[in-house]
Structure 1
Amino acid sequence: MTRIPHEPSGEPNPLRSLTLDQLRRRTSMKWRTYPEDVLPVWVAEMDVPLAEPVVRAVTDALALGDTGYPAGTAYAEALAAFAAERWDWDGLAVERTAIVPDVMLGVVEMLRLVTGPGDPVVVNPPVYPPFFQFVAHMDRTVAEAPLGADGRLDLGTLEETFRRAVAGGRRAAYLLCSPHNPTGTVHTADELTAVAALAGRYGVRVVADEIHAPLVTAGARFVPYLGVPGGENGLSLMSASKGWNLAGLKAALAVAGPGAAADLARLPEEVGHGPSHVGVLAHTAALREGGPWLDALLAGLEDNRRLLADLLAEHLPAVVCRPGEATYLVWLDCRALGLGDDPAQTFLRRGRVAVSSGLPFGTGGAGHVRLNLATSPEILQEAVRRMAAAVG
């Protein structure tokens, strides 16, 4: 029987499982970038234990010495089943997938398939900073089509940016962040259908980063870009990385729509050598058996969203928080605090709390910070307390 997403799973809330002392034993970026007196609520790592099926898959592989090169289609099959159950999407064809090292390296490879050096890549700032970094590093140019004031896609701006991008017969691509990071916006089926129509009209190829797709609230619906009318020519990158906290176990999937199958077939063979076989096993286990754990996490994140709203109203009422419908990241407008373009520096220096600066997110990022909700209520409370103390 198909599970209803977000129904009570019987799993404990993973956000309440680890103490601050336990977390400080971790050696990853989140916990080693800043001194120990700094409370980190910045980079996209969750303060959770791993789902038991993932732990079992990895430890079984290690016990067997199964640490060779990745092979087979189990990951794609697991993602197709997850997509059918969670998103009512049966259009993920295993034969139109390829394993890639991670989502951003997969994005680079997809953009190489559909653009050439110097071609423009359209993005919607404020957006995930590596979009700018990776595009520039691969010798493409970034064309900004900023989100609207409501944090949603501005289709008029997008059309004008597409028109300029293809002027003179140039090729162009659109790097779509769906759900959107940092705002948590979940693009609707109507919005994505309009995007596909614009892309078709101007000959712009769409590459969708859909890594946050499993992390959508109960009141919203994730719509795969490849599943909307006109999305058949698109390319998507998906992964269990964000949903199950597997960034250190590298693996992702590139997925092609029917009209992009020939493009994906041109992917160099050596790209498939980059993913971790153990990572593939972990991601496959998460998608196949990690649903109850994910539902418990989503319920915990919803609790934290409500808690954050209450904390901000009490301690930092001048901060504008528009709760997103996806991700575990929150975009905070701190401009009314009078802390300048980079309030994250003040929160770090005076409050000893690390949030992500809004500036690297591009246009619309000045005066903003991104906060990571995927932590315990106690750490979230302390983070807001420190932020308020930095302002007071």
Structure 2
Amino acid sequence: MTGPAHQPPAEPADTARTDPLVRLSLEQLRQRTSMKWRAHPEDVLPLWVAEMDVPLAPAVTEALRAAVDLGDTGYPHGTGYAEALAAFAAERWSWDGLRVEHTALVPDVMLGIVETLRLVTGPGDAVVVCPPVYPPFYAFVGHDGREIVEAPLGPDLRLDLAALDEAFRRARRGGRRAAFLMSNPHNPTGTVHTRAELEAVAVLAREHGVRVVSDEIHAPLVLPGAVFTPFLAVPGAENGFTLTSASKAWNLAGLKAALAVAGPEAADDLRRMPEEVGHGPSHLGVIAHTAAFRDGTRWLDDLLTGLAANRTLLGRLVAEHLPGARYLPPEGTYLAWLDFTHLGLHDDEPPAGPGVVGDLAGPARMFLDDARVALSSGHVFGTGGAGCVRLNFATPPAVLREALRRMGDALRMAG
């Protein structure tokens, strides 16, 4: 093993930062009981599941504390969450088209995706995805009796419109219904789709009669150099849907609440969503997500500054410690996609299909065993994922430095 006993040093004073990513020590983080920090032994640095190593935004803490002090822990009610999201979208993305009456409260984004797909597809129908892509797209959709049709990303990790066109044709074969489940921004690559790309998607979807369901959970996490465009804001997307929440941008995955948003032509479909779906979200979750979108923007801006700095740091560390890795800096999210395929580290990867989030093989297995760094294994992200890893860089810079040092040592020993 290479260096697992080393503890990340404190950041030098001349690089001190004030963003949320430098507020918690490794000792404090190890007191957490969530999946990220309890799935592996204490000598492992966890850079895998999409949890951030940050304290809560003060606006969220205050809203939750006030609710608990009041005993306000009943059932959710009202449209405050949707109103906060609409105001945030108008301010942040200049999108004035989000209508509160065209939203529905759902337990979380993935369960909301399943319920939305049920509105426009049935068992045996097809759902198109663009791998490598978020593994639960495979698991949740497949378990609900839909067939997955892949349209892999291009070599530049962007949407391949020709592949998407062909996938839409296959998905609609025999007259069956079909949907395109899109990740916008894209998980795991951090690609932020451009307005032109989204407009082309809308045209293709209309041409083939495919309904688009856009997962925009990472939408607030667009980094400098890119601009986020909501899918429903582009021409032709009026019959589409968006699912979103504050859970990734404000680290609220444990406080369940999300919103399904319908374009104007899809509003009647959304009204068919079963009433009991709205029983799943937590009232405290709704309070937290509402506070984040309404009052947490200053904290978000500080976070984005820190994520941009970590992205730059990661680029330097990859060049220093992992010179054989292919790495395209992400435009959004806090996820980085590292490609080790030309090193042959994935030759022994199992042929099992994608979707099993905790399954490890290839470089992810090597880095866990030999470097004591936990990463997400690329093969579970579908076609194009074998030999790659997803790395979560929403962590203190010192942890990032130590993790990449360990990974570099392990790679040198493997070579």
TM range (shorter): over 0.9
What is the RMSD of the two structures over their aligned residues, measured on CA atoms? 0.9
Alignment deviations for residues 316-367 of structure 1 (CA, whole Å, 9 cap, x no partner): 1111110111000000011233322520000000111101000000000011
Residue of structure 1 equivalent to 2:368: 348
Query: 147, 167, 170: which is aligned to 1:164?
Result: 170
Tell me the amino acid that sits aligned with residue 176 of structure 2: R
Moved over 3 A (4+): none
Q: Distance in 1 between matches of 2:236 and 2:60?
A: 36
Residue of structure 1 equivalent to 2:110: 104
Mapping 1:19-58, distance limit 5 Å: 19-58=25-64
Q: Distance in 2 between matches of 1:368 and 1:353?
A: 14
Alignment deviations for residues 103-162 of structure 1 (CA, whole Å, 9 cap, x no partner): 000000000000000101000000000000000111111000000011000001101110
* Percent sequence identity over aligned pairs: 69
Q: Distance in 2 between matches of 1:117 and 1:337?
A: 41
SS of alignment partner, residue 127 of structure 2: strand
Residue of structure 1 equivalent to 2:387: 367
Confirm whether residue 227 of structure 1 aligns to residue 233 of structure 2.
yes
Q: Distance in 1 between matches of 2:341 and 2:153?
A: 18
Query: 278, 300, 305: which is aligned to 1:294?
Result: 300
Alignment deviations for residues 144-186 of structure 1 (CA, whole Å, 9 cap, x no partner): 0000011000001101110111111110010011000000111
SS of alignment partner, residue 318 of structure 1: coil
Q: Distance in 2 between matches of 1:146 and 1:229?
A: 24
Query: 280, 286, 294: which is aligned to 1:274?
Result: 280
Query: 150, 154, 174: which is aligned to 1:148?
Result: 154
Q: Distance in 2 between matches of 1:81 and 1:218?
A: 22
Query: 5+ unaligned residues in a row in structure 2: which ranges?
Result: 1-16, 350-361
SS of alignment partner, residue 230 of structure 1: coil
Mapping 1:211-360, distance limit 5 Å: 211-340=217-346, 341=349, 342-360=362-380
Please state how far the C-alpha of 1:218 moved relative to its aligned partner: 2.2
SS of alignment partner, residue 61 of structure 2: helix
- TM-score between the two structures when normalised by the length of structure 2: 0.91
Q: Across the two proteins, how many residue pairs are aligned to each other?
A: 382
Residue of structure 2 equivalent to 1:391: 411
Residue of structure 1 equivalent to 2:4: none
Q: Distance in 2 between matches of 1:178 and 1:379?
A: 28
Q: Distance in 2 between matches of 1:73 and 1:388?
A: 50
Alignment deviations for residues 223-242 of structure 1 (CA, whole Å, 9 cap, x no partner): 11111000000011010000
Alignment deviations for residues 20-59 of structure 1 (CA, whole Å, 9 cap, x no partner): 0000000000001111111101000000000000000001
Q: Distance in 1 between matches of 2:317 and 2:242?
A: 37
Contact 1:337–1:391, Cα closer than 8 Å, also in 2: no
Q: Distance in 2 between matches of 1:271 and 1:126?
A: 29
SS of alignment partner, residue 238 of structure 2: helix
Q: Distance in 1 between matches of 2:322 and 2:281?
A: 43
Q: Distance in 2 between matches of 1:339 and 1:116?
A: 39
Q: Distance in 2 between matches of 1:261 and 1:218?
A: 34
Residue of structure 1 equivalent to 2:5: none
Residue of structure 2 equivalent to 1:4: none
Q: Distance in 2 between matches of 1:119 and 1:242?
A: 30
Residue of structure 2 equivalent to 1:80: 86
Residue of structure 2 equivalent to 1:125: 131
- TM-score between the two structures when normalised by the length of structure 1: 0.96
Query: 5+ unaligned residues in a row in structure 1: which ranges?
Result: 1-10
Q: Distance in 2 between matches of 1:255 and 1:218?
A: 26
Residue of structure 1 equivalent to 2:204: 198
Q: Distance in 1 between matches of 2:229 and 2:114?
A: 23
Q: Distance in 2 between matches of 1:242 and 1:370?
A: 16
Q: Distance in 1 between matches of 2:179 and 2:321?
A: 43
Q: Distance in 2 between matches of 1:364 and 1:83?
A: 33
Tell me the amino acid that sits aligned with residue 290 of structure 1: G
SS of alignment partner, residue 135 of structure 1: helix
